[in-house]
Amino acid sequence: MSRTKSTLINFIANIISVSITILLSFILRTVFIKSLGNDFLGLNGLFTNIISILSLSELGIGTAIIFKLYKPLAENDIKRTIVLMNFYKKTYRIISTIIFISGLIIMPFLNIFIKDNADFINIYIVFFIFLIQTVSSYMFFAYKTSLIKADQKGYIAIRIETIINIFSISIQIIILKFSKNYYYYIISIVFLNIIKNYIISLKIDKIYPYLKHKINEKMQLSEVKQMFVDFASVFLYRINYVVIKSTDNVIISSFIGLEYVGIYSNYILITNTLNTIILTFYNAVKPSIGNLHADSKKSNELTIFNIINFITVILYGGAAIGIFIMSNSFISIWLGSEYTLPQLFPILISFDFYIKGIQTFLGQYRSSMGLFKQAKFRPIFSIIINLILSLILVNFWGIYGVLIGTICAILFTTMWYDPIIIFKNGFENSSKTYFLKNILYFIVVIATGIISLFVVNMVEMTGVLSFIIQSLLCVATSSIVFFLIFIKTKELKYIITIFKRYFIKQY
């Protein structure tokens, strides 16, 4: 199967899965808030983020292993694939043990992270169930999904996950609706997650029956040492990712309160939803990027990089405009105006969303090129900047200060350093053109946002109908402006050519 065709199949499978899951997730969130309230929502978000921090012990091994699997899968080297997967399995068993022990150690200090009185629930029992949920993912079967991702067959797992997610979320909605019991809700998540991983594991065993073969060969000590050098480098990036993503809720809960964690999490649900939709493209294309890097000329690879960079700007820029203009209206209709924050917050979170999107693209490309250790100290500076600024600014500007700290950490590190690494070590070229081009892209996004806001504000109705009309106007206006500005660029011409070749000609 061609690289482009594999990418399209993975992309379409992801889109279908994501669309169904998103709809059910919003229904679940609505039922959750109506059944349990905002404090439970805040607690849910807080513990999810604490667990994410504990999961740092994963070291980014999954990313490094997928990179190592590209070559043996391409060459049909079964023996090498088995050796890597056995190593991966043993490593994940150790990781799950470390996470479990770390969780038990932190349990007595949970009250430090909660400013409010949390006597409405036993936070220790809840956290322990969250811990079991995470450990079960690492302990049982989840490592196998890396194999089909590296083999460009991620759509197989996606298909299974979609069916199971429909069932799982439906069960959770029923539990919340009729029992209104938070314990039942989180316990169901644990069991359903184990079932999902088990079913996917059986399917993978069927596709790759050689995984059950017993071989005595193990990875050489020198290779293991080299892999852990890569793991250590990825680990620093993973720390940075988790700090950027997960500490905001912890700081907000500790300094402001669980209620604001719940309100903040509704905006994050919107951005995560949009990010999940966009990531379907990247998850589909990433294995192809790794394969492309292995067998293509630098000039061809640079062309593809520029095209994907352009798509990134359009997708994340367009979505950021939507967040800026429509997020408060959406939340007001969905949950009520009491769950919204002043317009400054949507402005900040849309900017945060955009630069994180660029960061995601750069990170995906860098890891696909195997560039794990070239910028291993950059994440340390990002972590320091994020934590120091967020902890200082939260005392002056509250929730806005936390977000500003996160934005500054990304701008001062990833946004300028990762492109230099990619161009210097991957393309053996200067990154000057990239920076000039992306500055112009950002100016276009801002201008497009201002024009879209002007057009949307022409509709002064209220209610659901008004929201639908405004949303359509926002999408249409930003799309037209982007198209008119970029119509002469090589990147847009290439995308139009691909669209005609693989979609229009099919019909």
Report the chain (507 residues): mean pLDDT per 10 consecutive residues: 57 71 84 85 81 62 70 81 82 82 88 76 88 76 71 68 82 89 88 81 82 77 71 66 75 85 88 83 55 54 83 92 93 88 93 91 75 68 86 91 91 84 81 90 94 88 82 93 89 76 53
Whether 339 contacts 375, CB under 8 Å: no
What pLDDT sits at residue 448? 95
Q: Which two tokens stand for residue 401?
A: 């200060």
Q: How far is CA 454 from the centre of its chain?
A: 31
Q: What is the pTM of this model?
A: 0.76
What is the average pLDDT score of the chain? 80
d(CA 122, CA 424): 52
Number of H helices, E strands in the chain: 18, 0
Helices assigned H by DSSP within 296-425: 298-334, 344-368, 378-397, 399-411, 414-421
Tokens linked to 93: 């068993």
pLDDT at residue 346, as a whole number: 94
pLDDT of residue 507: 45
State the pLDDT at residue 455: 92
Give 66-87 pLDDT, tens digit per residue: 777 777 877 788 888 888 888 8
pLDDT at position 290, please? 47
Q: Which tokens sit at 133?
A: 């949920």
Six token digits for residue 183: 């314990």
3-state percent breakdown (helix, strand, coil) of the chain, nearest 5:
85, 0, 15
**C-alpha pair distances (Å), 331 with each of 258, 262, 280, 353, 471:** 18, 13, 24, 17, 13
Q: Residue 477: which of 318, 348, 308 has the closest Cα?
A: 318
